[in-house]
Amino acid sequence: MKALIFSDSHGNAEPMRAAIALHPDAEIVLFLGDGLRDAQTVASEHPNLPFVSVAGNTDLFSLFSAGVLEETTLDLDGVRVLLLHGHRRGVKSGEDALYYLAEEKHADVVLYGHTHIPVCRYVSDTERPFYIFNPGSIGRPHGGDYSYGILQIRNNGILLSHGRIDR
C-alpha cells in the first residue's frame, strides 16, 4: 500500500498534481485540510485514485466541507492511521495532545497538518509505539519547496518519508 499525504494547499493545486504524477503507483491520497476545494478538484481528475480528506480551519465554513469530518481513523493494510488537521489540538504549540490522541485512538500513525512544517517522529516511549507525521505544505510552505508525505506499508512494516516539489 502506498499513500500520498497532502496538507495545506491553500488554493494551489498544481504541486499536488505534480506529486501525483511522480507517484503513479499511489493507491490512495490522504488530505489533511486547508484546501478541500483543491483536493476535490484534483480527486475529480483522478477518478480511480481514492481520496480521504479531513477539514482544516480554513475549510470549516466552506461549501466544500459539507460532510467532511475534522478527524477520522482508517485501517490501511492492518495499520491504524489517524488523520486530522491539528488546529483543534493546538499543534502549533506542541504535539502533546497528539500523543494522548494516538493512545486513545490506538493509532499506529498520526497524520496532521496546520503548521506547514514537515515532521517525522517515531514515539517509542509509550505503551503502544506510534509515528507522528506532518507532510508540511503542498501549496504554501513557510520556506523552501512544496512538501508532501509518502506512507508505504509493506509486510506489516511502515515507511514514512517526505517528497518535495520545486517552487
- Beta strands per DSSP E along the chain: 2-6, 28-31, 51-53, 71-76, 79-84, 109-111, 119-123, 130-134, 146-154, 157-165
pLDDT number for residue 77: 94
DSSP per position, 127-149: SS-EEEEE---SS--SSSSEEEE
Q: Report the distance separating Cα 17 and Cα 163, nearest Å.
A: 13
Going from the N-terminus, what domains does the chain have, and what CATH number goes with each?
2-165 (3.60.21.10)
Neighbours of 155 (CB within 10 A): 5
* Residue-by-residue pLDDT tens, the chain, 167 positions: 999 999 999 999 999 999 999 999 999 999 999 999 999 999 999 999 999 999 999 997 787 777 899 999 999 999 999 999 999 999 999 999 999 999 999 999 999 999 999 999 999 998 899 999 999 999 999 888 999 999 999 986 999 999 999 98
Q: Determine phi and psi for 46, rounding to 5 degrees.
A: -130, 70
